[in-house]
Chain A
Amino acid sequence: MTKLKLNLGPQHPSTHGVLRLILELEGEKILSCEPDVGYLHRGMEKMAERLSYVQYLPLVDRIDYLAGFFYSELMCRTVEKALNLEISDKVRAIRVMMLELNRIASHLLWIGAFLMDLGATSPFFYAFREREMILKYFEKVTGQRMMNNYFVFGGVRRDIFDLEDVENILATLEKKVPDYEKLITENPIFLQRTRGKGILLKEVALNSSITGVNLRASGFDLDFRKRDKLYCGFYFEPVVLEGTDAWSRYKARVLEIIESSNIVRQALEYLKKEGELNQSLINPLNIKLPEGEYYSEIEAPRGLASLYIKSTNEKTPYRLKWRTPSFYAVNLLRKILVGEYLNDAIAIAGSLDIILPEVDK
């Protein structure tokens, strides 16, 4: 049979941004896949070398616009670590609440977009309806729906309010998530498109540096929130499934929404009792990190994100490096798509929850 080279993307609607895959096909079977990224490269790391820390802070949300809080937190955390700033428990609770709400919003968008990729239109609207509530709350508190720029070095930009909105969100999720499950999880068409597709064994996942939900859906229990000081005192169980296929990655995300809302509830109960906001703010204009290397990490919705800063006691970092989880998921496509059929390619790539601004940095 003749071989065919097929160009998928970069403007394909289901590549979630601008991912280009060069596929080699024999009939409908994929022989090899070569991802081509960089269409969204903004030089995040180069820009950091010219901007002071406070100038760079609003930019970091844009690394992953669906989970901006996580990158904000990472940046703040690294600077706080370098300057020995302690954050108060109330700030910690606010941050955890916002992060987990952000995680829920990100997973909801993924569910909608993934089902859209598979050709089901209605779940997209249901997922966006709930996500909208979260974004409305973000807008109320931070002034922005996405890319909130809410965390600052040593605290948060303003105190939290209208906690009953969060309670509303949780109550709605509690009602609606079982609805998704009824609508999607056991749907025969959905099962046929995802069951047994895109098998990712845990050895392969570890070797390819895959973390987060994708790894946990392959039966490996590794959640960086468990070793995270920020989450100290919050009780949760990482969602671990043995399925290894696209379906379990979907299921794991649905379960993680429930798990995250449990964490939000704990933070909420704490914040209701807490009084005034205590912050250890510093003058952001004069921030100079002491000479040395600083490294911190966080469990973002797509996996492990980390930040490395090398400082030479200047106003700008000498070198700043992001580790983004989707970067490795795109790299994995080279392997995971081989031997699969072309019509499953989108389902498999979609199930890994790749977001391109994060890959291109």
Chain B
Amino acid sequence: MNWENFKNIFSDVETKGDKLIVKTNIAKTIDFIKNNYHFDVLKNITAVDLKEQGVELIYHLFNVEDEEELLVSILVNDVAESVSKIFDSAVADEKEIYDLFGVKFIGNDELKRLYMPETWEGHPLKKDYVENDERLNWNDKA
């Protein structure tokens, strides 16, 4: 793959192992990769809570012609850019990440909780999540 052109435009991009690490402008970068390198499928977005460092979002991109994979990752704190206008599948992924990690995606109009009830407090997959569901302590009540 010819990354020369790419590196000229996005100077703050690093590679680490098989991952492309982006600092800012994730939507623009992904849009560029999609249009210029034919990564037409966003397999999924994985979020990992790295505690103090923030939440790492990993975009699994797939090139259907050459059957090539690309991981693009970015570290965010609570707010991230949405790629839902570029990939429709991201709408669902971003909803899930918002629900379980509390990352707000700017530009996703359909963002709301996916699994948990609207009134639920906290985001379950965060490492600092405290379970305060009273049903878990049913034994103490009696």
Q: A: which residues have CB within 8 A of B?
A: 37-38, 41, 43, 45-46, 204, 206-209, 220, 222, 227, 295, 304, 306, 308, 310, 318-319, 321, 323, 327-328, 330-332, 334-335, 360-361
Given contacts A328-B89, A331-B92, whether A209 and B48 have CB atoms under 8 Å apart is no
Q: Establish whether residues A328 and B87, one from each chain, have CB atoms under 8 Å apart when the complex forms.
A: no
B115: Cβ under 8 A from any A Cβ: yes
Contacts of B87 in A (CB 8 A): 207-209
Interface residues in B82-109 by Cβ distance below 8 A to A read 87-89, 91-92, 96, 100
Q: Once the chains bind, are B89 and A331 in contact (CB under 8 Å)?
A: yes
Knowing A206-B41, A306-B43, A331-B89, say if A222 contacts B64 (CB, 8 Å): yes
Q: Are the CB atoms of B40 and A207 closer together than 8 Å?
A: yes
- Across the interface, which residues of A come within 8 angstroms of B42, CB to CB? 209
Distance between B53 CB and nearest chain A CB, rounded to angstroms = 13
Contact between A227 and B89, CB atoms less than 8 A apart: no
Given contacts A207-B87, A328-B89, 17 further A-B contacts (CB under 8 A): A38-B115, A38-B116, A41-B116, A43-B124, A45-B100, A206-B41, A207-B40, A208-B89, A209-B42, A209-B43, A209-B87, A319-B125, A321-B47, A323-B43, A328-B92, A330-B92, A331-B89
Known interface pairs A38-B114, A46-B124, A360-B115; A323-B44 also in contact (CB < 8 Å): yes
Interchain CA distance A41-B120 in the complex, whole Å: 14
- Is B46 interfacial (CB-CB < 8 Å)? yes
Report the bound CA distance from A55 to B126 in whole Å: 22
Q: Which residues of B contact A (CB under 8 A)?
A: 40-44, 46-49, 58, 60, 64, 67, 87-89, 91-92, 96, 100, 113-116, 124-125
In the complex, A360 Cα to B99 Cα: how many Å? 12
Task: Identify whether the interface residues of A are mostly helix, strand, loop, or mixed.
Answer: mixed
CB distance from A207 to the nearest CB of B (A): 5
Q: Which residues of A contact B96 (CB under 8 A)?
A: 327
Q: Say which residue of B40, B49, B124, B125 sits within 8 Å of A206 (CB atoms).
A: B40
Contact of B115 among A37, A206, A207 (CB under 8 A): A37
Q: Which residue of A lies closest to B131 (CB)?
A: A46
Tell which of B89, B92, B96 has the most Cβ of chain A within 10 Å.
Answer: B92
- State how many angstroms separate the Cβ of A293 from the closest Cβ of chain B: 8
Contacts of A310 in B (CB 8 A): 48
User: Are A208 and B44 within 8 A (Cβ)?
Assistant: no
Output the least CB separation between A62 and chain B (Å).
16
Contacts of A331 in B (CB 8 A): 88-89, 91-92
Residues of B within 8 A of A222 (CB): 64
Q: Which of A207, A318, A332, A335 has the most chain B CB within a 10 Å cutoff?
A: A207
Known contacts: A37-B115, A222-B64, A319-B49. The answer to whether A207 contacts B125 by CB under 8 A is no
Q: How far is the CB of B71 from chain A (nearest CB, A)?
A: 8
Contact, CB under 8 Å: A206 / B114: no
Contact A208 B88 (CB under 8 A): yes
A130-B43 Cα distance, complex, nearest whole Å: 34
- Chain A nearest CB: distance from B86 CB in Å? 9
